[in-house]
């Protein structure tokens, strides 16, 4: 019973967080800023203000597929952000630029996250198979190794919270200090970024629940 709950509850939480960010973004995508500033324009202005003239901006397809690619040194903005002058688009663009600034100033959490990504990828794909094989074969070492690997996934999600909240904080401070958005526009943009941040909270919760599930699986074997 516990195993099913630990699988279903995180799924429900993730679905609620995803639906919330889409609904919030959709709502404020219809609210346009008084300066007529587009997502791409806001991104360029913030990058230049931070001396990041070498960071490019690209238009990519999709909605809410915005991201900063440190390898290519480019901020990629989606169809719903690039040419839109909505407060939602400007907020999202500023957030992604926040990641570029984090890399430029050597923000510690983002450096840590980058280093643990390879281990996280291994942990997310091999943890459950290793634990299951260990349970079937009676190999305690495999079970423990699988659980240790999944700790990397939880740690990654934990560090990601700091990275994402900091990027949003940088975004809001920049939008306000440069008068890019004001009053109700700022409040609306903050709501969009807060909704987005909650998806990362949900991701951490999901990872923790899966870890608990693995630990219970290992414990059930010991109790036999």
The catalytic position among 58, 96, 164, 185 is 96
DSSP 3-state of 223: coil
Q: Tell me the sheet residues that pair with 56.
A: 74
Helix (H) or strand (E) holding 118: helix 108-137
CB 167 within 8 Å of CB 98? yes
Assess whether 176 carries a catalytic annotation. no
Cα separation, 103 vs 72, whole angstroms: 12
Cα separation, 65 vs 93, whole angstroms: 11
Cα separation, 180 vs 70, whole angstroms: 25
CB 147 within 8 Å of CB 127? yes
Q: Is the dihedral of CA 214, 215, 221, 224 positive or negative?
A: negative
Q: What are 104's two structure tokens?
A: 């430029």
Report, in this order, helix, strand and coil percent for the chain, each rounded to 5.
75, 5, 20
Q: Which residues are catalytic?
A: 96
């Amino acid at each position: 019973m516990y195993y099913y709950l630990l699988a279903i509850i995180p799924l429900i939480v993730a679905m609620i967080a995803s639906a919330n960010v889409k609904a919030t973004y959709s709502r404020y995508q219809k609210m346009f800023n008084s300066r007529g500033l587009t997502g791409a324009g806001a991104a360029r202005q913030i990058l230049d203000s931070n001396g990041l003239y070498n960071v490019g901006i690209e238009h990519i397809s999709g909605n809410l597929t915005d991201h900063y690619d440190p390898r290519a040194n480019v901020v990629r903005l989606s169809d719903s952000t690039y040419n839109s002058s909505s407060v939602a688009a400007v907020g999202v663009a500023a957030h992604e630029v926040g990641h570029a600034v984090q890399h430029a100033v050597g923000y510690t959490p983002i450096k840590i996250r980058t280093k643990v990504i390879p281990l996280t990828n291994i942990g997310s794909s091999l943890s459950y198979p290793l634990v299951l094989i260990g349970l079937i074969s009676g190999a305690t070492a495999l079970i423990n190794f699988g659980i240790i690997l999944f700790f990397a996934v939880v740690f990654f999600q934990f560090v990601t919270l700091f990275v994402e909240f900091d990027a949003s904080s940088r975004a809001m401070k920049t939008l306000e200090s440069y008068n890019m958005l004001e009053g109700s526009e700022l409040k609306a943009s903050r709501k969009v970024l807060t909704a987005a941040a909650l998806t990362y909270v949900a991701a951490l919760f999901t990872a923790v629940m899966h870890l608990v599930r693995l630990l219970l699986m290992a414990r059930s074997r010991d109790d036999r």
